[in-house]
Amino acid sequence: MFLDHQEIHQLSHRREEENLRFRSFLKGQNSARIDRMVHQLYSSVSKEIDCTQCGYCCTQLRPVIMEIDIDLLTKTLKLSREKFKKKFIILDDEGDMLLKHLPCKFLKNQKCTVYESRPRDCQSYPHLHKSDITSRLYVILENYGICPIVFNVIEELKIRLNFR
């Protein structure tokens, strides 16, 4: 099991071409079968890795923020919606709201200070429990170099599928 962020980051760069080939390989597989395998691996690997002890994704990614997230966060932070948006939100090229700061302003000592009110996108990360994995491979492989769970799931999936 790989846990060290620097090692994962280095390996992800070294395996970029391999992962592109793996992405193409997975596109040709039965989607339902890949979903089952990834879900099982995700369940297994995530039991070994405590995200609340990591927080690396909070230093690398900006979650999408929904209106319901703003409702919860403004109550938790005791801020008006306008102040919250001005202080914490930017819009991406598609008009989606994202948290403005990297690392996340709510991350302190690798812990989320608004954990109970964290955005839905954060709650769902790394999104390996969702269906239709083969249509989301680009984003999953972007997370491969960031999230130890994703890295270990993908590496184990390569082994189980006899890839390489």
Under DSSP, the state recorded for 130 is: S
Query: Two tokens at 105?
Result: 């302003």
Relative orientation angle of helices 5-14 and 16-27, to the nearest 10 degrees: 70
User: Helix or strand or coil: residue 119?
Assistant: coil
Query: Two tokens at 4?
Result: 């060290």
For residue 110, what pLDDT is reported? 86
pLDDT in tens, 72-126: 999 999 999 999 999 999 999 999 999 999 999 999 988 999 999 999 999 999 9
For residue 53, what pLDDT is reported? 85
Q: Is the pLDDT of residue 26 over 80?
A: yes
User: In whole numbers, what is the pLDDT of the chain averaged over residues?
Assistant: 95
- Segments making up each domain of the chain, as ranges: 5-57+126-160, 62-124
Query: Two tokens at 6?
Result: 């620097």
Instruction: Give pTM, 2 decimals.
Output: 0.92
Q: What DSSP line would sit under 74-128, residue for residue?
A: HHHHT--HHHHHHHHEEE-TTS-EEE--SS-TTEETTEETTGGG--HHHHHTT-T
For residue 97, what pLDDT is reported? 98
Q: Is the pLDDT of residue 164 over 80?
A: no
pLDDT confidence bin for 158, thresholds 50/70/90: very high
Percent of the chain topping pLDDT 70 = 100
pLDDT confidence bin for 42, thresholds 50/70/90: very high
